[in-house]
Structure formats: structure tokens, C-alpha cells
Structure 1
Amino acid sequence: MGIRPQSHYARGQARRERLLDATAEVIAVRGLEGVTHRSVAAAAGLPASTTSYFFASMDELIGAAVTRIADGVLEATRDLVADVPEADGGTSALEYVDRLIDIVIAAKETLIRAQFEAYLATSRRPELVEPVQRIVQALEDAAESMFAFLGAPDPRLAGRELVAMLDGFALQRLAHPRPDDRAVLRDALRRLTTAHLGQASAPS
């Protein structure tokens, strides 16, 4: 008898997760203005009434979806920091740059689009400011940790510049993807690393 409530709760949570994933997809394709009970439910493959069962309003649903995106970014950055290679001079810096590139190139386009839609919406939706700032802060913290590990004199400044570069690259890649994107990003990151670590300790 005690298993049934837990099973019912698990099913409910699974549906809620599907709705949040679907909301992120709708945001990526149609923007925040395209988020409706019907569009989200259709994307999730659930009845239209399901969204109002789990979320009292569209604002609550959008806020929860953006928070979920932020949590995903936090998890990815934690994994990145955990994968910091052991200190090995320039080789470590190069390995870390390549690891960053892998993450950026492999990121789901829908997630990136939803993330930038959330960025742009903060001026109109104050409730999104906190989760969006969490995304930016998580990225900057991870980048700062990387540069601190590599011995940069000002890892915080280097981290902020790196995140700005990655955001700009990701946004441009959405609008105009090109075959040499990886090579261009790698060159830019190596130059940024060189600028903050000095020629002697930068990757070669």
C-alpha cells in the first residue's frame, strides 16, 4: 500500500519535468511570447489541462523552466570544474581550452536559444532576473576557477572576459554557423589565455 503514493508522486514529477523540458523547447522556437498552455502541452505530448494542474500561471511555468535551465548550466559548470586537469604547465591550459570548446560546440541548440531568450526577457520580466543571473554567475565562477588554477594574476577579470567571449560566439553561431567555428573559437580562447597568463605559460 505504501508504494502507490510514491509511484503516483514519481509519475507526477516525471510529467512536471516533461512540461519544463517542453517549455524550454517552445521558448527556443517561439520565444517567451509563444509559451501557452496549449503549445507547451502539445510539445510535451500531454493534455492541455496538465500545465494548469502543475503551474498556477504561465509566469510560474516560465520561471520554473528558466530556473531549470540555470540548474543545467550549474551542473555543467560543476562538472567542468571537477574535470580540471592536474597541473602540467602549458599542456593543462591547452587541455582545458579544448574541454571548453567541446562543451560549447556540443551544447544543444534549443538550450542555447532558450538561454538567450531568457537573457533578453529580463528587462520585461523581473521574475527572470534571479535565475538568469545564476546562469551568468555560474559560468563566470567556473571560468574564474579555471584561470585561478592556471595561475592568472586576475582570474575574475579573465573569467568574465571568457564568458563574454563564449556567449558572443554561441549567439553568432546560432545566426551564422560555419565549418571553421571550432578552429576560430580555439584560436580566440588561446589568445585570451595568452593575454592573461603571459606568453611563457600560455598554451602553444
Structure 2
Amino acid sequence: MARRYDPDRRTRIIDAALRVIVADGIAGLSHRSVAAEADVPLGSTTYHFGSLDELLTAALRRSNENFAQALRDSEVCAGDADGGEGASSGARLADELTRVLGEWFAGERGAIELEYELYLAALRRPALRPVAAEWTTSAVELLSTRTDPATARALVALMDGVCLQVLLTGSAFDAEYTREMLTRVVDGCA
């Protein structure tokens, strides 16, 4: 029997791993559970990903792309051209970041939980740390087009903190508080 050509199989396996993690958490992830979810032979998962850490790394990288893409698609990277008259550059950046976070939280909460579960898995899985760091580096680079790198790092840290607080407390995203805190960071206010 000839081998079936399936160029999208690796991508389907990664997508299946993300669905398994959303449903069962990282503890539910196995080559077997992913193969079943992707409807591929078990050998396909081990062929493409020799270990669960390799699969988690690919899943985290895919997950990271979502928020970075949201930043790229927003006016965060567009600079200060047009609009926002009467508001400082920092206030406009804080407004845009708050809008992006608000849209993110308005979407499927499971997707946000997935991203943070993968992100925090790096605490116990050293193989994931470089990918978690890639997200931070990417976000800082994107924000550095609007502010200095140190402020960009502080903004990323604040956004992470706000997101974790919302997720861990089950509270609603507080746009006004977030906007105020982001403005303080970007404007250097105490």
C-alpha cells in the first residue's frame, strides 16, 4: 500500500494538541490523545514530534502567534498617525492596548486559558522556556515601535499581570483600570 501524502498532517496534529489541552489541560496531553483528536495514526504524532515537549513547544509557538498577530493587526504598531487629538501619545497607546485586551477577553475564554496554561508550563518544562521568551521578545519589539524598550517590557509585564488576575479570579476584564495603569506606565507616572 502506498503512503498517503498529507502535507497538513503536522499542522492538524498541533491543532489537535491545542484542542486536547483546552479540553483536558496539559495533564491530558499524550501522543495517543492527540492522535485520536487529529484522527491520525499514533505513529504520526511520534514521527512529527519525538516527545511531548516537542509537541508542547509547537503548540505554544502556535498559541503565541494569536496575541502577537492581534497586536500587529491593531493600531499599536501603526504609530501615532491621525486621530487621538488632545490625547497624549502614551494615552493613545494605552487606549489601543486596552482595546486589544478587551477584544481578546471578549472572545473565547478557553483560548486565553490555553495560552496562559502553555505559557506557565514553561515553569516546569525547561524546553518551553525559549518559546515563552520568544513571545515576550516579540511583544516588546512590537511595542518598541511606539515607546522605548524598557517601557515596552513594563507594558508587556503589566498586560500579563492583568490577564493572569482576570483568569485566576474569574473576574471581568476592567478596561478603565487597565487603561489607567497602562497610561501610568507609558507616561512614567507614579
TM-score (normalizing by structure 2):
0.75
Distance 1:105 1:29 in 2: 24
Return the offset for 1:134: 0.2
Flag the structure with larger Rg: 1
Return the offset for 1:89: 6.5
User: Which of 80, 101, 105 is 2:102 aligned to?
Assistant: 105
Q: Deviations over 1:40-73 (max 9, x none)?
A: 24444x2452433533332221121122223444
Distance 2:11 2:21 in 1: 15
Return the offset for 1:35: 0.9
Q: Deviations over 1:114-141 (max 9, x none)?
A: 3322333224322212111101111122
Gaps of 5+ in 1: 1-7, 148-154, 199-204
Q: Deviations over 1:95-131 (max 9, x none)?
A: 3322212221222533432332233322432221211
1:109 alignment partner AA: R
CA change 1:172–1:180 in 2 (3 A) is closer
Return the offset for 1:180: 6.0
TM-score (normalizing by structure 1):
0.71
2:159 counterpart residue number: 166
- Tell whether 2:32 aligns with 1:35: no
SS for the counterpart of 1:172 is: helix
Return the offset for 1:36: 1.1
Q: How many residues align?
A: 180
CA change 1:82–1:145 in 2 (3 A) is closer
After TM superposition, the runs of 4+ consecutive aligned structure 1 residues lying more than 6 A away are none
User: Which of 61, 78, 81 is 2:55 aligned to?
Assistant: 61
Task: State the identity %.
Answer: 32
Equivalent pair of 2:102/2:173 in contact (CA under 8 Å): no
Equivalent pair of 1:27/1:114 in contact (CA under 8 Å): yes
Gaps of 5+ in 2: none
Q: Which range moves more in the overlay, 134-143 or 74-83?
A: 74-83
- Tell whether 2:3 aligns with 1:12: no
Distance 1:179 1:66 in 2: 25
Distance 1:178 1:33 in 2: 25
Distance 1:82 1:156 in 2: 14
Distance 1:129 1:141 in 2: 18
2:50 alignment partner AA: A
Equivalent pair of 1:25/1:111 in contact (CA under 8 Å): no
- Tell whether 2:175 aligns with 1:182: yes
The Cα RMSD (Å) is: 2.9
2:134 alignment partner AA: R
Q: Deviations over 1:127-181 (max 9, x none)?
A: 212111101111122223222xxxxxxx222112111110011111112344561
